[in-house]
């Protein structure tokens, strides 16, 4: 029973946590991805930035060059890069020992969907 309560509490804690999403408004897939996450219960604060500003944010967060995507989301100093599936986003929100999670851009990303896998960056 206590495990079930932990899961319920964790879900509501994450749902109340706001994730800041930096993106270039010229990208067609970002808003679709953000909307899908919102339907999963995540709160997304959308911030439009230029490509130069986005690169600065990625550099500040030490997002590896080979994992960079069209947008970067940030939660308490941890990054969520690309179209990470909900379970990866939950990991980034809860696991303070990592730098972030990332999903390389793929076919599903181009349509605003979640990629099947993600990488944890420590």
Assess contact for 115 and 108: CB atoms under 8 A. Answer: yes
Given pLDDT bands bounded at 50, 70 and 90, which one contains residue 102? very high
What average pLDDT score do residues 95-121 get? 88
For residue 113, what pLDDT is reported? 80
The total domain count for the chain is: 1
Measured CA to CA in angstroms, residue 50 lies from 10, 24, 26, 73, 104 at distances of 34, 6, 9, 15, 21
Higher confidence at residue 113 or residue 86?
Answer: 86
Mean of per-residue pLDDT scores for the chain = 88
H or E segment at 103? none
- Return the CATH number at 38: 3.40.30
- 120 CB contacts (<8 Å, ≥6 apart)? 91, 98, 101
Domain range for 114: 2-121
CA 26 from chain centre, in angstroms, equals: 19
Dist CA 85 CA 68 (whole Å): 16
pLDDT tens column, 42-79:
999 999 999 999 999 999 999 999 999 989 999 999 99
Higher confidence at residue 98 or residue 12?
Answer: 98
Q: What angle do CA 122, 60, 100 make, to 5 degrees?
A: 25
pLDDT tens column, 9-50:
444 444 568 999 999 999 888 999 999 999 999 999 999 999
For residue 6, what pLDDT is reported? 41
């Amino acid at each position: 029973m206590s495990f079930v309560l932990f899961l319920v509490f964790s879900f509501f804690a994450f749902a109340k946590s706001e994730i800041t999403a930096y993106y270039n408004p010229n990208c067609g897939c970002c808003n679709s991805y953000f909307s899908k996450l919102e339907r999963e219960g995540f709160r997304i604060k959308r911030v439009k930035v230029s490509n130069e500003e986005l690169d600065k944010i990625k550099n500040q967060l030490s997002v590896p060059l080979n994992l960079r995507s069209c947008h970067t989301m940030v939660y308490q100093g941890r990054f969520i890069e690309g179209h990470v599936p909900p379970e990866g986003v939950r990991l980034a929100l809860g696991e303070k020992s990592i730098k972030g999670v990332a999903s390389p851009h793929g076919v599903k990303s181009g349509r605003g969907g979640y990629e099947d896998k993600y990488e944890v960056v420590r």
